[in-house]
Amino acid sequence: MIGPFVHLRLGLGFSPRIARFGTFGMPVRSRTSALQSLPECFVIPSDACAAHRIRDHIATRLREGGYPERDVLDVLQALDEAMVNAIKHGNCCDSKKMLRISFCVDQDCFQICIEDEGQGFDPANIADPLSPECLEIPCGRGLLMMRHYMSEVSYLEPGNAVMMVKKRCGCE
């Protein structure tokens, strides 16, 4: 039992919009095909405590699934960045707005989708945080870390849902 969240099985009525983001090194995916394979879904409020409980639950599931600790830590680092982005930038820290977190722990890979209630954004519009002019300003570092720690990162239209995949170490 991880807390007073709405825990749903799939069939959530996600609208079948087609993703248009193929930039920033991220593959284009359709929302329905991306979510079909994610059997566990939680809807949580936009607050740190709820995010922590989901984080702990996912860590437990990965360890139960026999994922190496390094993979678990990579996922947690990316998950934290993604949830912070969703809460702060997507839901503007509005506790009435919810996050929908769907995931699947498979033999070979872990997949997760984090969806907020914001307007979405185009990751292609985020400046390169490694460029000299951006190195010292807060822009896109979280995204950079997500892309580093996960095997795949993609955004679903309209840019308010991030889909991430971590291939189990040795399964790349």
Partner 1 sequence: MAAQPKRLLEVQTIDNVAHVSITQGRILDDQIIQQFGEQLNSLVDQSGHERILLNFGKVEYLSSAALGKLVVLRKKIEAVKGKLALSNIDPTIFEAFKITGFDRIFKIFDEEQEASQFLQK
Closest CA to 148 of 162, 164, 137, 126: 164
Between 116 and 157, name the residue whose CB sits nearer to partner 1.
Answer: 116
Between 46 and 111, name the residue whose CB sits nearer to partner 1.
Answer: 46
Among 90, 118, 142, 159, binds partner 1 (CB under 8 A): 142
Helix (H, G, I), strand (E, B) or coil at 63: helix
Taking residues 72 to 101 in sequence order and writing x for each that binds partner 1 by CB under 8 A, - otherwise, the string is: -x---x--xx--x---x-------------
- We find the least distance from the C-beta atom of residue 145 to partner 1, in angstroms, to be 5
Among 18, 148, 169, 171, binds partner 1 (CB under 8 A): 148
Q: What residues line the site for partner 1 (CB under 8 A)? A: 48, 73, 77, 80-81, 84, 88, 129-130, 135-138, 141-142, 144-145, 148
